[in-house]
Amino acid sequence: MFNLSKFIPVSSQNILGIDIGTASIKAVELTKSKKGIRLVNYGILEASGHLERINDALQTSNLELMDSETASTLIALLKGMKTQTKDVALSLPAFSAFTSLLELPDMSPEETTQAMNYQAKALVPMPLDQVTIDWLKIGKFKNPHGNFVQKVVLIAVPTKQIRKYQHICQQAGLNLKALELETVSMSRALTEGDSSLTLIVDIGARSSAFAIAKNGFLIHSAQADFAGTSLTHALAKGLGINVSRAEDLKRQKGLMGTGGEYEVSTLMLPYLDVIISEAKRVIETHERTAQEKVGRVVLSGGSANLLGIEKYVSEKLKIPAVKADPFGTKVGYPEIATPVLKIVAPSLSVAIGLGTRII
Ligand SMILES: Nc1ncnc2c1ncn2[C@@H]1O[C@H](COP(=O)(O)OP(=O)(O)OP(=O)(O)O)[C@@H](O)[C@H]1O
Ligand SMILES: [Mg+2]
């Protein structure tokens, strides 16, 4: 069994954090020195084919990941970045996993593993011989009876998915040091050192991932099958134009169109509203059980760059929404890169969260 929580120590000062999405691969190389963690380089390689035919996606929800094609795309990306290490931490897509937040008596890690394997039998909606079970302790509190209780997230990932990622790394000549659920990585990157309850909404191309998190830990996650591609297709259909033209128009105008362009946002909003409704459901479910209010929303993923999205989401959810900044004060970068990193930062949340985990 591949234990997701364990990782093999890295051999150099540097680590690659790699996020393989449906539309693109995002990679960062981080280095650690006495001055702290710094970005050495980053790269994003987009595959435009996913817009026309879903089979061209680098990743599909039915786990048909095209290993050799993904490996060669990855090799090209890393070559372009002139990476200095082969050690890599890779993310697993949120849609491939099942997670559940549980409260258990505070006990040793060995006993917790046993308890989680037992809980998995009742909770995981997949055959247990086909999944890898893992867990993450996210906190501890004293209950009204004076006993310590630990909060633990149960994670189940199809073992087939893990093997595919191991295979891709092998083909790309990389040393796989850690595999982690993308919602776990983005929670670390976007909420570490922040004790206010946050909802991260990662809107990618094919799916949107939701993570309730604080202090760097994932507490609850969910996902929806609507994301950036849904918006592009809505524009293409509504305006009778091809998808690549619709993609350009979406990136150019976002939700900020006026006059004749007003239609652009009108066509996309029903799909964005589906994503926001799911976000609302996630918030309400969590607030009901945890009795703690979500204080802010962080928008991550490529679609967080949709012009005007923060304002729209803030108004709809009545909670302040901001664009993700995974660099924060933790990860330094060359001053000269500031303008470009401002734009790409929301796309790098997962990759940075992966890198900072093990460096
Ligand atoms: N400036 C922009 N405005 C609006 N949308 C954008 C912009 N830039 C990128 N996008 C959208 O972001 C999406 C890609 O985001 P991302 O790279 O996070 O996806 P992914 O991780 O490959 O996909 P997934 O997470 O669904 O597997 C695409 O749908 C793209 O159209
Ligand atoms: Mg993604």
Rounded Cα gap, residues 36 and 213, in angstroms: 24
User: H or E stretch including 11?
Assistant: none
Alpha-carbon torsion (265, 263, 23, 92), positive or negative: positive
| Cβ atoms < 10 Å from Cβ of 115 | 18
Q: For residue 119, what is the domain's CATH number?
A: 3.30.1490.300
| Cβ atoms < 10 Å from Cβ of 304 | 24
82-87: average pLDDT: 95
Q: Is 55 helix (H, G, I), strand (E, B) or coil?
A: helix
Rounded Cα gap, residues 98 and 119, in angstroms: 13
Ligand 2 ion local residues (Cβ < 5 A):
21, 204
Q: Judge if the beta carbon of residue 112 lies within 6 A of ligand 1.
A: no
Q: 180 phi and psi, to 5 degrees? A: -150, 145
Residue with CA at minimum distance from ligand 1 atom 6: 303
Rounded Cα gap, residues 63 and 14, in angstroms: 30
pLDDT tens track for 116-172:
999 999 999 999 999 999 998 888 888 888 999 998 999 999 999 999 999 999 999
Q: Which ligand is nearest to the CA of 95?
A: 1
Rounded Cα gap, residues 7 and 337, in angstroms: 31
Amino acid found at 54: I
228: in domain: no
Under 8 Å between Cβ of 218 and 187:
yes
pTM of this structure: 0.91
Q: Ligand 1 atom closest to Cα of 251?
A: 3
Q: Judge if the beta carbon of residue 22 lies within 6 A of ligand 1.
A: yes
Banded model confidence at residue 6, pLDDT cuts 50, 70, 90 = low
Is the confidence at residue 5, as pLDDT, over 60?
A: no
Q: Ligand 1 atom closest to Cα of 44?
A: 17
pLDDT tens track for 169-195:
999 999 999 999 999 999 999 999 999
Distance 228 CA to ligand 1 centre (A): 6
104: in domain: yes
Is the confidence at residue 359, as pLDDT, over 80?
A: no
pLDDT value of residue 162: 92
Helix 309-317 to helix 262-290 angle (10° resolution) is: 40
Is the confidence at residue 290, as pLDDT, over 90?
A: no
221: in domain: no
Range of the domain at 123: 98-156
37: which residues sit within 8 A by CB, 6+ positions away? 30, 31, 330, 331, 332, 355, 356, 359
Please count the structural domains in the chain.
Answer: 1
| Cβ atoms < 10 Å from Cβ of 110 | 8
**Tokens 């890393």, residue?**
78
Candidate of 303, 310, 340, 350 to mutate for ligand 1, largest count of ligand atoms within 8 Å of Cβ: 303
Round the average pLDDT of the chain to a whole number and report it.
90
Is the confidence at residue 54, as pLDDT, over 50?
A: no
107: in domain: yes
The more confident residue out of 245 and 7 is 245
pLDDT tens track for 25-47:
999 999 998 889 999 999 999 87
127: in domain: yes
pLDDT value of residue 139: 82
26: in domain: no
The more confident residue out of 268 and 138 is 268
Distance 124 CA to ligand 2 centre (A): 23
7: which residues sit within 8 A by CB, 6+ positions away? 89, 177, 178, 357, 358
pLDDT value of residue 291: 81
103: in domain: yes
pLDDT value of residue 235: 95
125: in domain: yes
pLDDT tens track for 88-122:
999 999 888 898 889 999 999 999 999 999 999 99
Rounded Cα gap, residues 129 and 281, in angstroms: 32
Amino acid found at 245: R
